Amino acid sequence: MDGNEILLRYGCNPHQTTARIFSRDGKLPIRVLGGKPGYINLLDALNSWQLVAELRSSLNLPAAASFKHVSPAGAAVGIPLTREMKKCYFVDDMELSPLANAYARARGADRLSSFGDWAALSEPVDVPTAKLLRREVSDGVIAPGFEPGVLDILKEKKKGGYSVIEIDPAHRAPDIERREVFGIVFEQRRNSILLTADTLSNVVTKEKSFPDDAVRDLLVAQIALKYTQSNSVCFALGGQVIGVGAGQQSRIHCTRLAASKADRWFLRQHPRVIGLAFKEGIGRPGRDNAIDQYLETNLTPAEQFLWQENFVNEPERLTADEKREWLTLMRGVSLASDAFFPFRDNIDRAQQSGVEFIVQPGGSVRDGAVIEACNEYGMIMAMSGIRLFHH
C-alpha cells in the first residue's frame, strides 16, 4: 500500500493547514490510485467502507453506500431495479451489474443529499459501476479493487482529479480505538457487534412474524445506523435505505426527517414525476433540483420560475390530495432506530409513511405505550437491546 502516512492539503477546513493520516502500527491498509482525497473524504471513505463490508457479510449481496459528511445519504444491496425505478434514478439508458444496481439504489435514496458524495463499494469496481460513477457528481470512491479498464474510466472525471482509494479487504482494526479531543485522549472498545437476524428475535408486539424482505430491510437499516451520526432513525424498503434522519437532538425530529425523505423518495416514483419532460441540456443535478422544487408545496415566485424553466412545457403540479393518495400506496417499510423511542409520537409519524416493521433497542420507561401504538397499527416490532450510537 502507500506506506504509513498520507499528507493532506488541509483538515476539516482550509485554514487547518497541517493535516495527515498515518498508522502507528505498520502500513496503511489503503492506497490512493487517483486524485487527492481530503480529511473529510477519508472519514467518509473509512466509515462507508465498514458499512458496505458489513452489509456484504450480513446479506451476501453486493453493497454500496453514498456518504456525505460522515453519514450515509443512502445505502443498498444489489437487487435489480424495476423499469420505473431505473427511470426514477436516471439509469434507464444503462446496463447495470449487481454492484451498479446497489450504487444506483444507494444514490437514489436522497439524490439531493448525494450530490458530491463519497461512494463505497463492497466488490471490485466493474465497468458498469464505473460508468455510473463517471456520470454522477461525486468526490471519490473506495473499493477493494478495480477491474481492468475501470481506472481509465474514472480518470475521465474531474480532469483526472477524481479520488480513487483501494482498501485491503483483509484489514481488521484493533479492538481498542482512540481519538483525541482538545488534547485529551478518549479510548473505547470498537463497536464490533455483528448485526444479524438474531437482533429481531425479541418481538414484543401482538403480530410476531417478520417477512423475509422485512428481515433484510431491517438489517440494512440497522447496519446503516451503525455508521450514521446520532441521534438517527433509518427507513428502508426493497433492500435499500429510503430515508435517514441523522444528527438530531430529538428522536421525533429524527423520525420526521427520515419520514419526509422517504415520502419524497416515493413521490419521485409518481407517474407524473417520471413522465416530466426536461429541456435538452438539463443535467442530472438540474433535474434533481427541478423535481425537488416541483414536489415542494410552498415556493417563492423566483423558485417557481427556476423549476419551470427546466421543462419543455409547464407541467401540472401534484395537488396535496394527489400526493396524499399516492403516499397511501407506500407500504411494507422497515424502520430502525439507534436508541429507544421515548414517546409513541414516533410510531404515529412512522405509520403515516408506510412503516409496518420496526427494530429498536427498547428500554424506555414508556415502552408499553410504544408497543401499544404498534399494536394499534398492526405493526411488528422487535426490541434488540442494542444501542447503535455513533459519534
Q: Which of 79, 76, 56 lies closest to 66 in space, CA to CA?
A: 76
Range of the domain at 297: 275-317
Q: Do 234 and 362 belong to one domain?
A: yes
Does 68 participate in catalysis according to the annotation? Answer: yes
Evaluate whether residue 371 is within a structural domain. yes
* Centroid of chain to Cα 290: 22
- The C-alpha angle with vertex 357 and arms to 197 and 76, in degrees rounded to 5, equals 65
Residues 153 and 222 occupy one common structural domain = no
Instruction: Say whether the peptide bond before residue 60 is cis (omega within 30 degrees of 0).
Output: no
Asked whether residue 186 is domain-assigned, the answer is no
**Strand locations in 176-314, DSSP E?**
176-181, 184-189, 232-237, 240-246
Same domain? For 46 and 94 the reply is: yes
Whether 69 is catalytic: yes
174, part of any domain: no
Cβ contact 290:317 at 8 Å: no
What are the φ and ψ backbone dihedral angles of 332, each rounded to 5 degrees?
A: 70, 25
83 and 107 share one domain: yes
> Is there a contact between 240 and 220 (Cβ–Cβ < 8 Å)?
yes
- For residue 389, tell me if it sits in a domain: no
For residue 302, what is the domain's CATH number? 1.10.287
CA angle 214, 219, 221 (to 5 degrees): 95
Instruction: Please check whether residues 104 and 79 belong to one and the same domain.
Output: yes
Question: Does 132 lie in the same domain as 60?
Answer: yes
3-state secondary structure of 361: coil
Read off the CATH number of the domain in which 248 is found: 3.40.140.20
Q: In terms of domains, do 291 and 208 share one?
A: no
69, 158, 253, 390: the catalytic one is 69
Residues 239 and 334 in one domain: yes
DSSP 3-state assignment of 254?
A: helix
Residue written as cell 457487534?
Answer: 193
Q: Is 164 helix (H, G, I), strand (E, B) or coil?
A: strand
For residue 316, the model assigns a pLDDT of: 87
- Under 8 Å CB-to-CB from 357, ≥6 apart: which residues? 210, 211, 214, 217, 218, 332, 333, 334, 335, 379, 380, 381
Q: Same structural domain for residues 128 and 201? A: no
CA distance 200 to 338: 14
> What is the pTM (predicted TM-score) of this model?
0.95
Domain membership flag for residue 114: yes
Q: Which entry of 47, 68, 261, 310 is annotated as an active-site residue? A: 68
Residues 344, 240 share a domain? yes
> What's the length of the chain?
391
Catalytic residue among 47, 101, 231, 289: 231
Amino acid symbol at 82:
T
Clarify whether residues 148 and 225 are in a common domain.
Answer: no
Virtual CA dihedral for 165, 169, 174, 177, nearest 10 degrees?
Answer: 40
**Per-residue pLDDT at 1:** 42
Give me the pLDDT at residue 2, please. Answer: 52
**Pick from 107, 109, 106, 81: which is nearest to 94 by CA?**
81
What's the CA gap between 62 and 55, in Å, rounded? 8
Per-residue pLDDT of the chain (391 residues; tens, 9 = 90+): 457 899 998 999 999 998 999 998 889 999 999 999 999 999 999 999 999 999 999 999 999 999 999 999 999 999 999 999 999 999 999 999 999 999 999 999 999 999 999 999 999 999 999 999 999 999 999 999 999 999 999 999 998 999 999 999 999 999 999 999 999 999 999 999 999 999 999 999 999 999 999 999 999 999 999 999 999 999 999 999 999 999 999 999 999 999 999 999 999 999 999 999 999 999 999 999 999 999 988 878 877 777 778 898 888 889 999 999 999 999 999 999 999 999 999 999 999 999 999 999 999 999 999 999 999 999 999 999 999 999 9
Give, as one character, the DSSP assignment of residue 231: S
Among 149, 167, 185, the domain boundary falls at 167
The position carrying cell 453486493 is 62
d(CA 243, CA 239): 13
Q: How many domains does the chain have?
A: 3
| Same domain? 97 vs 216 | no
Structural domain contains residue 34:
yes
Task: Report if residue 390 sits inside a domain.
Answer: no
- Measured from the Cβ of residue 170, the count of other Cβ atoms closer than 10 Å reads 7
- Strands (DSSP E) contained in 103-175 are 117-121, 138-143, 163-167
Residue 288 lies in a domain: yes
Q: Which of 74, 131, 141 is CA-nearest to residue 107?
A: 74
Q: Which residue among 15, 159, 208, 391 is the active-site one?
A: 391
